Amino acid sequence: MSTRVIRGIIGFTALGLVAATVVMGLFVTPPDAVQGNLARLLYVHPPVAWVAYLAYGVTSIASALYLWRPTRSRRWDQLAVASAEVGVVFTGLTLVTGSIWGRPAWGVWWTWDARLTTTAILFVLYLGYLALRRIPTSRETRARRSAIAALIAFIDVPIVHESVVWWRTLHQGATVASLGTNSKIHGIMAWTLLLGFVAFTFVYFWMTMLRFQVERLAEQVEDEEFKNWELERAAESEISSGAIATLLGDGIGDRDDTLIEHKVR
């Protein structure tokens, strides 16, 4: 089965699962006893945050594999950037959906709470990673530099996750981790939440595969452009040397250089 077919299957599965999550989240699940309909944001906010963690985890593994000489390959670097970019999109969505939830629940769009602040730092760190890749340099230098940056940025991921335990925060503690044992959530709500996690994980895989392909194609186009530029340069120099040889053969070589240059043009 070709990559394109696999990507198509994952894409359509993701589409179907997201549609099911939306239907379940908006129409089927009951409103929460305390937060009412506002709790329906539960089915999108934690899943997009989870995907951001997943994406940065994949970026870190790919970066480490690139840095380790026995496994060094361009593909690891391409996977790292693909996953990081998707991760940035999902981190942005985590911040946006959290802010939308925070306004009616806490009365503010934003507060310098530990969970919110560490998530914002995570967003900026990976934006910095993407910016670092834009600095013009050789591919090897860029890949090595950004792999180190990705590993440093990943330190913030466990800090974000544990922030609700380490500091007193407005943000609620870990609910999802205790779903199995001491669950205080209605069955259908828990299943819809699980569906949301699966759906957005599929979206992540589809987007990362697509972004990975875009990165590979972009590098191929860059290589082609460089090859064409080199060929043009070679052809130009061949024409120039041919013209000079003709002029020299005509006996013009004895005259001054400016005249030869003029004729060549």
Partner 1 sequence: MILLNGYVEAGYGAVIGALGAYGAWLLVRGARLKRALVPAPVEQERHQKPKD
Residues that bind partner 1 (CB under 8 A): 18, 22, 25-27, 36-38, 40-41, 44-45, 48, 89, 92-93, 96-97, 100-101, 103-104, 203, 206-207, 210-211, 213-214, 217-218, 220-221, 224
Question: Smallest gap, in angstroms, from Cβ of residue 152 to partner 1?
Answer: 26
Question: Smallest gap, in angstroms, from Cβ of residue 96 to partner 1?
Answer: 5
Question: Smallest gap, in angstroms, from Cβ of residue 58 to partner 1?
Answer: 17
**Residue 157 neighbours by CB under 8 Å, 6+ apart:** 53, 56, 57, 122
Nearest to 189 by CA among 16, 55, 35, 54: 35
- Residue 13 φ then ψ, to 5°: -65, -45
Select 143 or 209, whichever has its Cβ closest to partner 1: 209
Select 63 or 94, whichever has its Cβ closest to partner 1: 94
Task: Centre a 10 Å sphere on the Cβ of residue 206 and count the other Cβ atoms it contains.
Answer: 21
Distances (CA, A) of 84 to 65, 96, 159, 163: 15, 18, 18, 22
Q: How far is 77 from 79, CA to CA, in rounded Å?
A: 5
Long-range residue pairs from 10-18, CB within 8 A, at least 24 positions apart, any chain: 10/202, 10/205, 10/206, 10/209, 11/206, 13/202, 14/199, 14/202, 14/203, 14/205, 14/206, 17/195, 17/198, 17/199, 17/202, 18/199, 18/200, 18/203
Question: Smallest gap, in angstroms, from Cβ of residue 153 to partner 1?
Answer: 20
Select 165 or 188, whichever has its Cβ closest to partner 1: 188
Select 36 or 253, whichever has its Cβ closest to partner 1: 36
Distance of CA 197 to the CA centre of its chain: 18
- Residue 133 φ then ψ, to 5°: -70, -15
Question: Smallest gap, in angstroms, from Cβ of residue 220 to partner 1?
Answer: 6
Question: Smallest gap, in angstroms, from Cβ of residue 249 to partner 1?
Answer: 28
Select 65 or 79, whichever has its Cβ closest to partner 1: 79
Question: Smallest gap, in angstroms, from Cβ of residue 192 to partner 1?
Answer: 13
Select 64 or 214, whichever has its Cβ closest to partner 1: 214
Select 67 or 100, whichever has its Cβ closest to partner 1: 100
- Inter-axis angle of helices 156-166 and 114-132, to 10 degrees? 170
